[in-house]
């Protein structure tokens, strides 16, 4: 019998899949696993944050609070009085201090430890106290919802999971960064909307109506009328027009008076 060389019909040591297809399957599987881990870990972080005592949180971040009430300017004292009044409607659990920083940007920030930083342009552009009160109440909403703790916790989890599964400087880790950015931005937008809802409640609680609630976002829409595009998915804040519509819908559903 003459010998005729040939390959076996089935060889488990040789892949019959195209290498490019195998690569995308591997990447997709890794992404799916990481996203699942991040979602579960995120839920765990959100749950854990609820058990952190507000006073303990304030003491931990006290070093980040700059200045003293006795050193506040007349402008800051007026804002402080308004924040203290709004605190009756949104109980943060610890004192909140207000400071003003010179800037041409329309914004305000909630800093860990209980400090609200208001940029000076806000004071120049607002025509009513109600509009400013909404912005201050929004920052109080972030404190109430412990959003800074949630953000720090989720970022720490992402870093730990990324390093553990892919290595500190791996190409896979760099490839997955946009995935985390989209998830983090989506979560951040949900927290902004939650703070808006609390601010609307506080405005109605303090004034008996929600007039001025959308003034800030109307200014933003006028100064930066961007169209919605793919960058929206990486934005940490909902766009101004969306927030206006959401606030108007929430006010109507809650039966809040507009004036």
Phi, psi of 170 (to 5 degrees): -80, 155
pLDDT tens, per residue, the chain with 259 residues: 566 666 566 665 655 566 677 777 777 777 777 777 777 888 888 888 888 888 888 888 887 777 677 788 999 999 999 999 999 999 998 999 999 999 988 889 998 888 999 999 998 888 889 999 999 999 999 999 999 888 888 888 777 777 776 666 666 666 666 767 777 788 889 999 999 999 999 999 999 999 999 999 998 888 765 545 545 556 788 899 999 999 999 999 999 998 8
Angle, helices 240-254 vs 171-207, to 10°: value is: 40
- Closest C-alpha to 132, from 228, 203, 40: 203
Phi-psi category of 10—alpha, beta or left, where left has phi over 0 and alpha has psi -120 to 50? beta
Instruction: Map out the domains of the chain as residue ranges.
Output: 20-254
> Taking CA 165 as the corner, what is the angle to CA 159 and CA 167, rounded to the nearest 5 degrees?
70
Rounded CA-CA distance 227/219 in Å is 16
Structure tokens at 69: 């009430």
Rounded CA-CA distance 188/144 in Å is 15
H or E stretch including 30? Answer: helix 19-49
**Cα-to-chain-centroid distance, residue 225:** 22
């Amino acid at each position: 019998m003459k010998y005729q060389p040939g390959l076996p019909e089935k060889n488990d040591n040789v892949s019959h899949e195209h290498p490019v297809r195998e690569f995308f399957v591997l990447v997709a599987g890794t992404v799916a696993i990481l996203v699942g881990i991040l979602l579960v870990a995120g839920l765990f972080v959100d749950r854990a944050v609820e058990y952190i005592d507000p006073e303990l949180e304030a003491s931990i971040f006290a070093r980040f609070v700059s200045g003293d009430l006795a050193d506040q300017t007349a402008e800051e004292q007026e804002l402080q009085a308004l924040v203290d009044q709004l605190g009756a409607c949104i109980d943060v659990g610890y004192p909140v201090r207000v400071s003003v920083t010179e800037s041409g940007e329309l914004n305000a920030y909630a800093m860990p430890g209980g400090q609200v930083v208001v940029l000076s342009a806000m004071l120049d552009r607002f025509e009513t106290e109600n509009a400013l009160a909404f912005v201050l109440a929004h920052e109080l909403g972030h404190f109430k919802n412990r959003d800074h703790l949630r953000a720090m916790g989720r970022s720490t989890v992402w870093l730990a999971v990324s390093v553990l599964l892919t290595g500190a400087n791996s190409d896979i880790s760099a490839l997955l960064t946009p995935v985390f950015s989209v998830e983090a931005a989506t979560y951040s937008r949900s927290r902004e909307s939650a703070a808006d809802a609390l601010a609307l409640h506080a405005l109605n609680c303090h004034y008996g109506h929600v007039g001025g609630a959308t003034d800030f976002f109307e200014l933003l829409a006028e100064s930066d009328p961007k169209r919605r595009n793919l960058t929206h998915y990486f934005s940490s804040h909902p766009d101004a027009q969306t927030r206006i519509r959401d606030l108007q819908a929430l006010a109507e559903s809650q039966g809040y008076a507009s004036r």
